[in-house]
């Protein structure tokens, strides 16, 4: 499913984010940029230890922000590490919104034309998938409508159930 916003596009897909062809993929990272498990672990396993090595050089990154590294052998040029919130830490919605917004800002600064996000913070961080869909889609739409951004933004969901949650929210917009 996809929709145009201004000069850009938002697209939902179901699949493996490490297999997506784009200028950048987004890693739902922790604040220490240690990529051991979940999507982060899969990205490093697929792209190589260079991603972790570059992340180690960056070090601690505040929750609600983002950082960028190379993508190793993944079919992208960059990995943008979005530092999403853990459920229960406080101000989770604002932190998620900021992590998405900063990821998009980094993409714009790097002249990235295509970016693929996962559902940020919904795994071991426990953020509700419905709320994630609302915030991520809203933030992507605001970004595309705020400027003449021609970016193609994809949101890649691992499970059919997660895809259906995002699709329901997307149809409401």
Q: Domain residues of the chain, as ranges? A: 2-172
Q: Could you tell me which residues come within 8 angstroms of residue 77 by beta carbon, excluding any fewer than 6 positions away?
A: 23, 24, 70, 71, 112
pLDDT for 138 equals: 97
Q: Which two tokens stand for residue 50?
A: 């260079």
| Residue 51 near residue 68, CB atoms below 8 Å | no
CATH level 3 topology of 2-172: 3.40.220
Q: In sequence order, which ranges of the chain are alpha helices (DSSP H)? A: 38-47, 49-58, 92-109, 129-145, 160-172
Q: Could you tell me which residues come within 8 angstroms of residue 92 by beta carbon, excluding any fewer than 6 positions away?
A: 85, 86, 121, 127
CA distance 3 to 72: 30
pLDDT for 149 equals: 79
CA distance 155 to 153: 7
| Residue 87 near residue 127, CB atoms below 8 Å | yes
Q: pLDDT band at residue 143, thresholds of 50, 70 and 90?
A: very high
| Residue 141 near residue 158, CB atoms below 8 Å | no
Among the listed residues 154, 162, 104, the one whose alpha carbon sits nearest the alpha carbon of residue 133: 162
pTM over 0.85: yes
| Residue 153 near residue 115, CB atoms below 8 Å | yes
pLDDT for 9 equals: 97
CA distance 107 to 61: 17
Q: pLDDT (tens digit, 9 = 90+) per residue, 75-134?
A: 999 999 999 999 999 999 999 999 999 999 999 999 999 999 999 999 999 999 999 999
Count CB-CB contacts under 10 A for residue 142. 14
Residues of 92-102 as b/e, b for ≥16 C-beta within 10 angstroms? beebbbbbbbb
pLDDT for 148 equals: 79
Q: Is the pLDDT of residue 147 over 90?
A: no
Q: pLDDT (tens digit, 9 = 90+) per residue, 23-74?
A: 999 999 999 999 999 999 999 999 999 999 999 999 999 999 999 999 999 9
């Amino acid at each position: 499913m996809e929709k145009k916003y201004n000069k850009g596009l938002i697209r939902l897909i179901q699949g493996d984010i490490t297999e997506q062809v784009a200028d950048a993929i987004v890693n739902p990272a922790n604040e220490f940029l240690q990529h051991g498990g979940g999507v982060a672990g899969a990205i490093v396993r697929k792209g190589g230890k260079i991603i972790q090595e570059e992340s180690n050089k960056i070090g601690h990154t505040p929750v609600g922000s983002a950082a960028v590294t190379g993508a190793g052998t993944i079919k992208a040029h960059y990995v943008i590490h979005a530092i999403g919130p853990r459920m229960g830490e406080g101000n989770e919605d604002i932190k998620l919104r900021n992590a998405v917004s900063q990821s998009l800002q980094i993409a714009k600064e790097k002249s990235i034309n295509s970016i693929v996000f996962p559902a940020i913070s919904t795994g071991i961080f426990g953020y509700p998938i419905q709320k994630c869909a609302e915030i991520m889609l809203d933030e992507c739409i605001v970004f595309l409508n705020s400027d003449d951004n021609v970016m193609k933004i994809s949101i890649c969901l691992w499970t059919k159930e997660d895809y259906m949650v995002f699709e329901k929210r997307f149809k409401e917009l």
